[in-house]
Amino acid sequence: MHGSIRSAFTRIAALAVAGVAAISLAACGSTSGASNGSSSDSGSAASGKIEVVASINQWGSVAKDLGGDHVDVTSIMSNTNVEAHDYEPTSQDVAKFGSAKVAVVNGADYDPWASKAAKSTKATLIDAAETAGKKEGDNPHVWFSAAVRNSTADAITAAYQKADPSNKDDYEKLNKTWHEQEQKLEDAIKQASAKTKGLPYAATESVAWYLADDLGMTDDTPTGYAQASANESEPTPADIKAFQDALKGGSIKMLVFNTQEANATTDQITGAAKDANVPIIELTEQMPKQYSNLLEWMTALVGEFAKA
């Protein structure tokens, strides 16, 4: 994917598989509405901390949890009103990638602006999607996937150990703690799946597809609407009617609604769900501010799916 960066990443991933174990749930790294760093470049250098930049706040929180007091993390995006797919970075955003030692992007063409900015620097690049073999064309909302969370965490830890070998043991301890918390989340998913396994649901956008899949749910979003959503095009009136009819007919037991993509079309869909008493799970793509880290957010969402 990224030439020499890909080679560097491969070495990092190998380190992670060979010997990394776990991470702490320290407070979330510094985030921004669209872009707002936690510290100045000179401050990070003077403190001896690893300077880390993440494209989105959910991965920024993981980077912070895995680095603890040894890292300064800046997340470019944390505003749930901003759409990451179409985000246009500022010159200040690009500069943050230039000064970072480690850059964490989502990948799978979700944040191409971040991948482009990181590739032009000497920062070690962690592509979350790529750590688990996901690529452009796959569902890009990979932070909802347990497999991708685990592989990304190990890749980040390996990058820290490479950048700061004197604190290798600390990073291993932090990684171990993180995986323990991730396992608690996966245990909650397993418990919730007793209620959700096989449950047919539909979504206004496939943002939570990986989580629903981990929960054993069945995506019954009408094909025409789902294809239009995936292509970022407008569904036809027939597509909308098919969705409304499916909700009214009772074949769909839950609606997942991405509030960051609310519009007149989704108003019609959610309206039909309400009329049919179909439970609606509302969520966003960026991690809401009330959560300190990705695992806390995912745990809350699992609880909502289980209760609906």
Q: Are 102 and 162 in contact (CB under 8 A)?
A: no
pLDDT confidence band for 82 (50 / 70 / 90): confident
**Do β-strands 218-219 and 200-203 pair in parallel, antiparallel, or remain unpaired?**
parallel
Comparison of pLDDT for 40 and 196, the residue scoring more: 196
Tokens of residue 220, six digits: 């019954």
Q: State whether residue 201 is helix, strand or coil.
A: strand
Average pLDDT over residues 251-258: 98
Sign, CA torsion 132/136/137/142? positive
Average pLDDT of the chain?
A: 88
Protein fold of 4-182: Rossmann fold (3.40.50)
What is the reported pLDDT for 257?
Answer: 98
Average pLDDT over residues 90-103: 94
Report the CATH number of the 189-307 domain. Answer: 3.40.50.1980
What is the reported pLDDT for 88?
Answer: 87
What is the reported pLDDT for 37?
Answer: 40
What is the reported pLDDT for 80?
Answer: 84
What is the reported pLDDT for 46?
Answer: 56
What is the reported pLDDT for 44?
Answer: 53
Of all residues in the chain, the percent with pLDDT exceeding 70 is 85
| H or E element in which residue 66 lies | helix 57-67
Please, what is the angle between helix 294-307 and helix 57-67, to 10°?
A: 120
| H or E element in which residue 193 lies | helix 168-196
Comparison of pLDDT for 272 and 8, the residue scoring more: 272
Tokens of residue 198, six digits: 């096989």
Each residue of 122-165: pLDDT tens digit? 999 999 999 999 999 999 999 999 999 999 999 999 999 999 99
Each residue of 209-248: pLDDT tens digit? 999 999 999 999 999 999 999 888 999 999 999 999 999 9
Average pLDDT over residues 9-24: 38
Q: Indicate the pTM of the whole model.
A: 0.84
pLDDT over threshold 50, residue 90: yes
Owner of token pair 């569902």: 139
Each residue of 64-80: pLDDT tens digit? 999 999 999 999 998 88
Task: Pinpoint the residues of the chain covered by CATH 3.40.50.1980.
Answer: 4-182, 189-307
